Amino acid sequence: MCGSLIIGAFFILFGISIFLNLIFGIYIPVGRVFFGLIMLYIGLTFITGFSSCRNSEWRCCSSFHGSTSSHATWFGSADILMDGKTIAQPGQPHEYSTVFGATMLDLSHLKSTDFPTTPLLITANTIFGKTIVKISKDTPVTITAKSAFASSVLPDQSNTSFGSAVYNSHPQPANPQIIMTTNTVFGETQVIRI
């Protein structure tokens, strides 16, 4: 998928440069621009932690509505509903990333019977975008929010813009059923208890 994306982007850029040169006399150095786009892609890949495009389902410039255990939204929007059927294995990490887009992650339908022994591990990454996470008030949760030049709003309305914050929904002896980490860079992440 990544190879076709890069080759397709090159041909589109090359075609646009020929069109602009023939019609308007505007010269665009295709090689330099394409090299810059590849460097931008590699940088975003490092920031988001994807080692290849096949690691998780990702979508560019579109909308997604459904259930999935891991997802990346690039330049689009996603409404993700997570329930007991979606969880592959509770002990395995579930990762949701938003880059230049918006994601609504609804965890409010999860029940304690969906993962009775092992907590659910969730990571929500937001870069130049917005992520809203909904969690049931009945589910014990521990959230670690990390921000850099961003806004991370936790259920108790505490806000961090640079650094990290921890939220525990129930007294410390209760074992959390969801352990969530949010990483936000130049964006906004909001966790809501409903």
> Residue 74's domain spans which residues?
57-193
Do 158 and 85 lie in one domain? The reply is yes
Number of domains composing the chain: 2
Q: Could you give phi then psi for residue 110, rounded to 5 degrees?
A: -75, 140
Claim to verify: residue 39 and residue 69 sit in the same structural domain = no
Q: 26, 48, 70: which is the final residue of a domain?
A: 48
DSSP string, 91-143: TSEEEEEEESSEEEEE-TT--GGGSSSSPEEEEEEEESSEEEEEE-TTS-EEE
Q: Are residues 29 and 77 in the same domain?
A: no
Same domain, 37 and 68: no
Whether this prediction's pTM lies above 0.75 is answered by: no
Same-domain status, 22 and 84: no
Mean pLDDT of 135-147: 90
Per-residue pLDDT tens over the stretch 104-136: 998 888 876 676 678 888 899 998 889 999 998
